[in-house]
Amino acid sequence: MEITPRLIEQAAARGEMHFDYQPKVSFLTGEVCGAEALLRWRREDGSEVSPESFVPLAEAWGVVSDLTEAMFPRFLADVSAIKTGHPKQRIAFNVSAHDLDAPRFIAMLHDAIDRGLVAVEHLELEVTEGVVVSGKHSVLGSLHRLVAEGVELAMDDYGMGFSSLDTLQRLPFSSIKLDQSFVLRVLHSAKSAVLVKLSIAMAQMLGIRTVVEGVESKAIYDSLLHSGCSAAQGFWVSRPLPLDDYLAFLSDQPRWPASPIGLFRMAQLAHFWQERLLIDMVFAALQSDDPVTDIPLEFHLDETECELGKWYLGSGREFAGDPDFDALEAPHRAMHDLCAEVFRALRTGDRQHILSELLGEISANSCRVTTCLHRLETQALIREAD
């Protein structure tokens, strides 16, 4: 069969296309946290056309946006069926740069949200980085608005394109999905392992999460359990499933190995990094005559907004009673409060206060936070190895 643009269009219109759902598992909880909708084409005679053979053609012919628009209502209906019994699931829809550049698709999304057809907390968009989003003001504005409303935006196939850093700095991503080709090699290539782990750390510094694709074996899953990566997707967790099978799968409440160690490590890194960034900023401000007016995005002034704060006020409560856990909150809160005070002092020009008091106190509290986290990490490692 020769695939043509018309054939693709007819197939979508006739209902020959549907989505399978591939689960993602949280490394922190070991539970299914969501899934990715993957487009499937089953012809009337029952034969399957693989997405690798028709999606790139649809892209090349410029009809991919028609396909996206034709399939979006089906996706919304599926999400609605999923959320009924499983309200915490977030389901990802794959979009191409062409879709994001098409005002019609963005309008469809806003319309679906406004009409209550889908709630933003159930919705994620995965954007392939291969094709560059044009960067038109209108597109960027719409994307920022969707993200501000609570829709998540993931960069798909991270590491494969040539423009990943450029795209990363332009679009408001909430996560990156590390491409299978790196993940599949982590056990056999020291270079891939370093690239994967540093990409996770880099994402963390940007305040975004990482998902690994291509987790085909328990050994790969285990090797990334402590890496600070948020979630795993791949054949070892589950193959992509038809909607009904995915619903049954969720109802079984399957569990995978989970660990808080990645979070401890990332929190140590993030707070150390935040302290350094703050010091750099203070010194730049002291050397310049311009007053500091804006607080850079990387700084969470409210300690309950950073991942560590969210954790110890939420699922981390299970550690209550552990002296290192109990000793964490006070210096952590102090660190964030002191950070806010530095910004106030920079605005009022009170340099003396910063230099003689604030920096020293920040450093002392940062040490306390790091020590508690390091001890919690060691205890957890000993427990898990036992």
Report if residue 222 touches ligand G, rule: CB under 6 A: no
Report the run of H or E that residue 26 belongs to, with start and end: strand 17-26
Query: With respect to Mn ion, which residue has the nearer C-beta, 59 or 126?
Result: 126
C-alpha–C-alpha distance, residues 40 and 48, integer Å: 8
Structure tokens at 363: 């450093």
Residue 350 beta carbon to ligand G: minimum distance, rounded to whole angstroms:
51
Query: With respect to ligand G, which residue has the nearer C-beta, 236 or 272?
Result: 236
CB 182 within 8 A of CB 197: no
Task: Identify the residue among 20, 78, 156, 179 touching Mn ion (CB under 5 A).
Answer: 156
Report if residue 59 touches Mn ion, rule: CB under 5 A: no
Task: Identify the residue among 78, 129, 152, 213 touching ligand G (CB under 6 A).
Answer: 213
Query: With respect to ligand G, which residue has the nearer C-beta, 61 or 235?
Result: 235
- Of 141, 140, 210, 142, which is closest to residue 174 (Cα–Cα)? 210
Report if residue 96 touches ligand G, rule: CB under 6 A: no
How many residues form the binding site for Mn ion (CB under 5 A)? Answer: 3
Sign of torsion over alpha carbons 340, 343, 348, 349: positive
Report if residue 34 touches ligand G, rule: CB under 6 A: no
Structure tokens at 148: 């501000």
Q: Would you call 316 helix, strand, or coil by DSSP?
A: helix
Structure tokens at 147: 């993200």
Q: Which of 59, 126, 129, 213 is catalytic?
A: 213
Q: How many CB atoms lie within 10 A of CB 337?
A: 16
Task: Identify the residue among 3, 7, 38, 131 touching ligand G (CB under 6 A).
Answer: 38
Stretch that binds ligand G, among 139-147, 212-220, 301-309, 320-328 (CB under 6 A): 212-220
Task: Identify the residue among 162, 235, 242, 313 touching ligand G (CB under 6 A).
Answer: 235
Which residues in the 170-209 window bind ligand G by CB under 6 A? 180
Structure tokens at 264: 């401890």
Residue 25 beta carbon to ligand G: minimum distance, rounded to whole angstroms:
12
Helix axes 103-114, 64-85, angle to 10 degrees: 20
Query: With respect to Mn ion, which residue has the nearer C-beta, 24 or 300?
Result: 24
Which residues in the 116-155 window bind Mn ion by CB under 5 A? 126
Query: With respect to ligand G, which residue has the nearer C-beta, 240 or 331?
Result: 240
Which of Mn ion, ligand G, none lies near 213, with the C-beta cut-off 5 to 8 A by kind? ligand G
Which of ligand G, Mn ion, none lies near 260, with the C-beta cut-off 5 to 8 A by kind? none
What's the start-to-end Cα distance of the chain, in Å?
57
Structure tokens at 121: 């907390």
Stretch that binds Mn ion, among 16-24, 156-164, 249-257, 352-360 (CB under 5 A): 156-164
Which of ligand G, Mn ion, none lies near 121, with the C-beta cut-off 5 to 8 A by kind? none
Which residues in the 141-170 window bind ligand G by CB under 6 A? 156-157
Residue 212 beta carbon to ligand G: minimum distance, rounded to whole angstroms:
10
Residue 94 beta carbon to Mn ion: minimum distance, rounded to whole angstroms:
5
The answer to whether 213 is a known catalytic residue is yes
SS (H, E, C) 223-285: HHCCCCCCEECCCCCCCCEEHHHHHHHHHCCCCCCCCCHHHHHHHHHHHHHHHHHHHHHHHHH
Q: What is the DSSP letter of 327?
A: T
Q: How many CB atoms lie within 10 A of CB 280?
A: 10
Residue 385 beta carbon to Mn ion: minimum distance, rounded to whole angstroms:
34
- Of 144, 149, 152, 108, which is closest to residue 127 (Cα–Cα)? 152
Q: How far is CA 102 from CA 69, 165, 208, 350, in A?
A: 10, 23, 26, 49
C-alpha–C-alpha distance, residues 135 and 140, integer Å: 6
Would you tell me which residues interact with ligand G (CB under 6 A)?
22, 38, 51, 156-157, 180, 213-216, 234-235, 240
Would you tell me which residues interact with Mn ion (CB under 5 A)?
94, 126, 156
* Residues noted as catalytic: 213
